[in-house]
């Protein structure tokens, strides 16, 4: 087994449609620079409200990826 | 900046369709009496089950609104 | 299934006899204004002490009831 | 009121579509052997990612059912 | 010292009288199939309410016992 | 000892000067409608930032007061 | 108001009868050396079991008292 | 991706040598009846002491495995 | 490096002015009997209120110091 | 509403004067490289002590800012 | 069963070799003044680093022992 | 005292031998790019299992280092 070191970061994704879609947007953005993502754990969920309507579903998630210096 | 005081309350919303819809129902009801809602944070999620089927998605959420006495 | 919205509140009840009795006093008082209470969850328990004797058993509990505006 | 004893277990359900569907799959499987399920509480949610796409929504939930020995 | 493996489970006991009695009912039931129980830790306590009266005291407890396969 | 029932609520106070002052503003506002406040516990502290400067210190606090119906 | 310093300690009391009695035993013992106790908060509750019977109710509680050096 | 349902259980392993060895003993025992174990997360660690010496290192761990009925 | 053993204790300090001053009072008192204090971590903060005014800022803090028997 | 992705980081600021000033120093430093900071939540507070005096107030805070790759 | 009162304290032990050895050092020191120790629970673990090397393994543990006054 | 700002990050290290060695590997890797590391706190520990054997010990740890922009 490899003995690599991983780094944990937390990102917040959002979507007008659903928490699933907010997570998808988060992964899409993270994938641009982080390689080999395998699991994203939900840490917090909320919604933004404007004029009595939900305008954004937001999800805060924890991701791990191979660490290659700061 | 204004130095207003806000109050935090917790409500439980429910829906036959999804947790997003449960949150929407919660906001709809809260908006009838609370003004200027901006964020609702998820505190807990569960489902009610009847005859082996999910009959309600429920979400407990924390809301803050301008405090004007009890 | 109905899609009602519920509100969660926390009350503290007390009794000279026991934590069970403190919960009973809490429910008695809450029932005067809240309808259809079904579950009360214990959040915290403590005792007040005076002259080396326990003078009050106290229980903090979380109650939910049908939400009808603030 | 009956004084039955209940057991709490934790299961993880998954779905390619949504966390709601992951919970549904979890309940479907649990219902094969456990009777009279009434509530499932979400304990944790995450997603599995492959090639920068979400491939599974997963939900860990707590279920209670009537206890009849180990 | 023996190097046995133990399993942890959570049960919910209930009683019309008190939380102590709810724990007693829980232990009585668990003892029918689990051997050598020594400690049960309280995880949660609540009450069920009907018509403004407490009808059941409930206690969720964590038990450990010698593990002999699933 | 009296066996009164108390209610717990959470308020958020803010100030341009300090967290102590935010708590003072919170108490000032709460005192207009709640009688006999004795302790306010800090639950959360944060700051609002605008143009790289702190513009508000905020404190979320838990207060208890004598319960007299909803 | 005085600006005294208080110390927090945790004790475990036990009783063959009930958790209330375990707390009473804890306070009785603590009162022998600590002056001016006013509140004891429950931190944990469990039971010891022997031959399928509850033999001790135990309560872990947090006490504060005036600090006068180690 | 498969949409299997997994079950989470907690076991306590022990060893006279180290926490690593306690985990190994736990896995050895669990593997006799559970198939396809992949991760075990540490939940709690402690030691048993006798005559001022550590006699057992113990580790409580959470395991998941494919769920096939109770 | 030395392999000393340290003890952790919790103290509550208070002040009429601020939480910083409450911490200062706590350290002043602790320093009379404990040597070589280096860090004090805030565990809880609250205020005492009398006649709608804050009369004491209180801070509960965790301190470690070299252990030399009970 | 925009569906941007945000990153959460934790920084520790310190000051010889107060926790408010420690937070100000933290924001000053963070603002040099992070744009559009709006909220910083306190995660932990402590003090460094030297020769029985508080020499630094420290605050650990959580900040979010627009995510633009690692 | 005896109805003794126990006290809980937290100590930090350290070692240049391992966390197991840090716990052993902690128990050795505690045993000089505390009688009849039976369990020590790990509360926190960390390492001290100097010039990029681990120089100390540290373990914070919770111990209980028979209470005989302050 | 200097009033520097520090950043907190979380890394996961692993080893085929022990959790101590996993921490060592984590520190070795982090030291390549981060200067002046002094403490690493354990946040989580687990093991990876393959064919009923532990193949990796993993430790998630929190590190702080001097902050010099993103």
Give the residue from chain H lying closest to K41, CA to CA: H46
Residue G15 has pLDDT above 90, yes or no: yes
Q: Is the pLDDT of residue I70 over 60?
A: no
C9-48 tens-digit pLDDT: 999 999 999 999 999 999 999 999 998 899 999 999 999 9
pLDDT of residue J68 exceeding 90: no
I52 touches chain K (CB under 8 A): no
Domains of chain C are 6-66 (3.30.1660.10)
| Mean pLDDT, range K64-70, rounded to an integer | 83
Taking only the tens place, the pLDDT of each residue in G20-58 is 999 999 999 999 999 889 999 999 999 999 999 999 999
Q: Give the model's pLDDT for residue G70.
A: 54
> Is chain E adjacent to chain H, meaning 3+ CB pairs within 8 angstroms?
yes
Query: Which residue, among D23, D10, L47, E10, has the nearest Cα to H8 in the 3D structure?
Result: D10
Phi, psi of A57 (to 5 degrees): -95, 130
Scan for tokens 């003072």, then name that residue: F24
Q: Which of L11, L14, L56 sits opposite A7 (nearest CB)?
A: L11
ipTM of the complex: 0.94
Q: What average pLDDT does the structure give for chain L?
A: 94
Check if L8 contacts J (Cβ < 8 Å): yes
**Chain segment A9-56, per-residue pLDDT in tens:** 999 999 999 999 999 999 999 999 998 899 999 999 999 999 999 999
Biggest CA pair distance of chain G: 54
In this model, does residue F36 exceed pLDDT 80? yes
Burial class (CB in 10 A: 0-12, 13-18, 19+), G26: buried
How does pLDDT run across E24-51, given as a tens digit for each residue?
A: 999 999 999 998 899 999 999 999 999 9
b (16+ CB within 10 A) / e for E19-50:
bbbbbbbbbebbbeebeebeebbbbebbbbbe
Residue K68 has a pLDDT of: 82
CA distance E19 to D67: 19
- E strand or H helix at I22, and its extent? helix I19-31
D61 burial level (CB within 10 Å; 0-12, 13-18, 19+):
buried
Kindly report the number of other CB atoms within 10 A of residue K60's CB atom: 19
The C-alpha atoms of residue K23 and residue D3 are separated, in whole angstroms, by 44
CB contact (8 A) between residue B48 and residue C5:
no
HSE (CB half, 13 Å, CA atoms) of C64?
15
Instruction: Give the C-alpha separation, D11 to H12, whole Å.
Output: 19
Q: Which residues fall within 8 angstroms of residue G31, CB to CB, at 6 or more apart?
A: C52, G37
- Render pLDDT for F40-58 as a digit per residue (tens, 0 to 9): 999 999 999 999 999 999 9
Nearest chain E residue to C20, by CA: E18
Higher pLDDT, E69 or I32: I32
Min Cα distance B11 → chain F (Å) is 14
- Residues contacting residue A29 through CB under 8 Å, at least 6 positions apart: A11, A13, J5, J67
Q: How confident is the model at residue D68 (pLDDT cuts 50, 70, 90)?
A: confident
Instruction: Tell whether F40 lies on the interface with I, counting CB pairs under 8 A.
Output: yes
Q: Which tokens sit at K44?
A: 């926190």
| Residue that has been written with the tokens 């993103």 in this structure | L70
DSSP state, F16? S
- Chain segment D24-51, per-residue pLDDT in tens: 999 999 999 998 899 999 999 999 999 9
Query: Average pLDDT, whole number, for chain F?
Result: 94
Q: Residue E1: what pLDDT?
A: 53
For the segment K17-36, what is each residue's pLDDT rounded down to a tens digit? Answer: 999 999 999 999 999 999 88
């Amino acid at each position: 087994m490899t003995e690599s070191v991983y780094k944990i970061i937390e990102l917040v994704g959002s979507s007008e449609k659903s928490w699933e879609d907010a997570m998808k947007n988060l992964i899409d953005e993270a994938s641009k620079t982080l390689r080999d993502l395998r699991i994203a754990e939900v840490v917090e969920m909320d919604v933004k409200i404007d004029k009595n309507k939900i305008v954004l579903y937001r999800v805060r998630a924890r991701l791990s990826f191979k660490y290659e210096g700061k």
